[in-house]
């Protein structure tokens, strides 16, 4: 999850400034995180948003564009696809990988589209980064036509993560309870009941939800620890011995996730939600 560390946000920065990342980080996100973690969620999010032939689709917080790219064959020649992200570097990679898709820079809190423009809006693994989630949902609803669908995927809460939870527990045991908050923001949208209640309150319905277990693959357990710890301020608060103890204990506790070919494959649990914008009466 290093590509867009929520810890990069500070009170003195605008949301757009806080999310700008170097191009190399966006390239690395595309080369590793997309195939090793996020790609498998895209068809489920598109199903949740009822995307099919002829759909006009907006993919919000598109990153390097995996959901939009996965939709190309589904929507066919009669469909249209636009990907929007706050981050210029993510969009540079998206344009390189799929030059034929329409990629635009924009903030989910203020989407640059007329009311009711799209049949479907998707947002995969990004809601937890939005400072004003209600506003984001309201914007997604505004740009979707009456009767259209919104499809979301979010990581489930930390308690529901069979591998990430023990990792965070070990980090907190060695470095203090603040580790939990520092490593925890990725999971803060993961209460499915709360998420669905928020969508219903915003006027969406019916709301379908499904919890599924995907896989996150790392080169080793050390690589998992490095990815998570070094993308947060936790790395500045621990000394080398503490860091080594975290790596060692995580390696031991999660050894059973090492595959015969030496990779480290852990479960990554998420919620996929599809919600319909009410038809105009
Ligand atoms: C973990 S990535 C997910 C990207 C993509 N949906 C995927 O599945 O690979 C989160 C994305 O949310 C974007 N993002 C964060 N806040 C945003 C906002 N307010 N408006 C638009 N995009 C935002 C980031 O720039 C980043 O590309």
CA distance 60 to 67: 9
**Closest CA to ligand 1's atom 8:** 124
- The answer to whether residue 49 sits within a structural domain is yes
Residue 6 three-state SS: helix
Q: Which of 1, 63, 103, 105 to mutate to test the pocket of ligand 1 (most atoms within 8 A of CB)?
A: 63
- The answer to whether residue 47 sits within a structural domain is yes
- The answer to whether residue 231 sits within a structural domain is no
pLDDT number for residue 184: 79
pLDDT number for residue 18: 59
For 137, other C-beta atoms within 10 Å of its C-beta total 24
Instruction: Report yes or no: 61 and 95 within 8 Å, Cβ to Cβ.
Output: no
Q: Which of 71, 88, 126, 143 to mutate to test the pocket of ligand 1 (most atoms within 8 A of CB)?
A: 126
- The answer to whether residue 93 sits within a structural domain is yes
**Closest CA to ligand 1's atom 10:** 126
d(CA 99, ligand 1 centre) in Å: 19
Residues 6+ apart with CB under 8 A from 171: 179, 180, 183, 225, 228, 229, 234, 246, 250
Cis peptide before 206 (omega within 30 of 0): yes
- The answer to whether residue 141 sits within a structural domain is yes
d(CA 137, ligand 1 centre) in Å: 14
Work out the angle between the directed axes of helices 221-229 and 240-253 (0-180°, nearest 10).
130
Q: Which is the closest atom of ligand 1 to the Cα of 33?
A: 9
d(CA 240, ligand 1 centre) in Å: 32
- The answer to whether residue 179 sits within a structural domain is no
Q: Which residues of the chain have pLDDT under 50?
A: 1-13
- The answer to whether residue 63 sits within a structural domain is yes
Q: Which is the closest atom of ligand 1 to the Cα of 19?
A: 25
Q: How many domains does the chain divide into?
A: 1
- The answer to whether residue 257 sits within a structural domain is no
Q: Which of 19, 111, 133, 136 to mutate to test the pocket of ligand 1 (most atoms within 8 A of CB)?
A: 19
**CA dist 210 → 26, 41, 141 (Å):** 29, 12, 20
Domain span including residue 60: 6-156+187-216+270-276
Cα 92 to chain center, whole Å? Answer: 18
List pLDDT tens digits, range 206-234: 999 999 999 999 999 999 999 999 988 89
CATH code: domain of residue 45: 3.40.50.150
pLDDT number for residue 231: 85
pTM, to two decimals: 0.93
Burial class for 92, CB neighbours closer than 10 Å (0-12, 13-18, 19+): middle
d(CA 15, ligand 1 centre) in Å: 12
Ligand 1 pocket, Cβ-based, cut-off 6 angstroms: 3-4, 15, 19, 34, 38, 61-63, 66-67, 85-87, 90, 107-109, 124-126, 129-130
């Amino acid at each position: 999850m290093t590509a867009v560390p929520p810890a990069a946000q500070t009170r003195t920065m605008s949301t757009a400034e806080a999310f700008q990342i170097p191009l190399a980080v966006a390239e690395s996100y595309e080369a590793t995180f997309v195939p090793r973690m996020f790609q498998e969620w895209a068809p489920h999010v598109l199903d949740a948003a009822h995307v099919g032939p002829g759909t006009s689709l907006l993919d919000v917080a598109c990153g390097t564009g995996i959901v939009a790219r996965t939709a190309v064959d589904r929507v066919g020649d009669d469909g249209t696809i636009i990907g929007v992200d706050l981050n210029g570097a993510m969009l540079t990679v998206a344009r390189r990988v799929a030059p034929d898709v329409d990629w635009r820079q924009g903030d989910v809190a203020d989407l640059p589209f007329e009311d009711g423009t799209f049949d479907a809006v998707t947002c995969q693994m990004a809601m937890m980064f939005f400072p004003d989630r209600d506003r984001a949902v309201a914007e997604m609803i505004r740009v979707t036509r009456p009767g259209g669908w919104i499809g979301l995927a979010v990581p489930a809460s930390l308690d529901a993560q069979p591998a990430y939870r023990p990792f965070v527990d070990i980090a907190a045991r060695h470095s203090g309870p603040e580790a939990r908050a520092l490593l925890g923001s990725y999971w803060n949208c993961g209460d499915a009941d709360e998420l669905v209640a928020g969508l219903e309150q915003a006027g969406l319905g019916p709301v379908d939800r499904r919890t599924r277990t995907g896989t996150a693959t790392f080169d080793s357990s050390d690589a998992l620890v490095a990815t998570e710890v070094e993308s947060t301020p936790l790395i500045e608060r621990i000394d080398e011995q503490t860091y080594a103890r975290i790596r060692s204990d995580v390696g031991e506790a999660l050894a059973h996730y090492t595959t015969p070919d030496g990779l480290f494959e852990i479960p990554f649990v998420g919620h996929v939600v599809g919600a319909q914008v009410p038809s105009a009466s």
